Amino acid sequence: MYKTLYSKGNKAFLELLTQSRLDAGLTQVELALRLQEDQSLVSKVERGVRRLDVVELMLWCQALEMPLTEFVRRLEASTASPAGHTRMG
């Protein structure tokens, strides 16, 4: 498996995290309060300095009041190629 840190897929993931927060009308501070974390964690995650595991992503989505499945659907849509194949590289 190749490294994904600098992939287009990871960039799309980070952009979707930030856009989902903005769409929910939340600042980083407000999201951090919902997560019972510091604002610096939200900033680090959105910048790609700190990565989320699946359980953390689930909690993040709950704090945004977005089903995890909806987040994944949006991520897949943002990384899909015109032929319908997922473009992660």
Q: Provide the CATH number for the domain around residue 26.
A: 1.10.260.40
| pLDDT tier, 6 (very low <50, low <70, confident <90, very high otherwise) | confident
Rounded distance between C-alpha atoms, residue 5 and residue 89, angstroms: 10
**pTM for the model:** 0.85
Position 8 in a domain: no
pLDDT in tens, 27-55: 999 999 999 999 999 999 999 999 999 99
- pLDDT more than 90, % of the chain: 81
Structural domain range at position 18:
14-78
Q: Please provide the average confidence, as pLDDT, over all residues in the chain.
A: 91
Domain count, the chain: 1
Q: What pLDDT does residue 18 have?
A: 98
Position 38 in a domain: yes
DSSP string covering 32-64: HHHHTS-HHHHHHHHHTSS---HHHHHHHHHHT
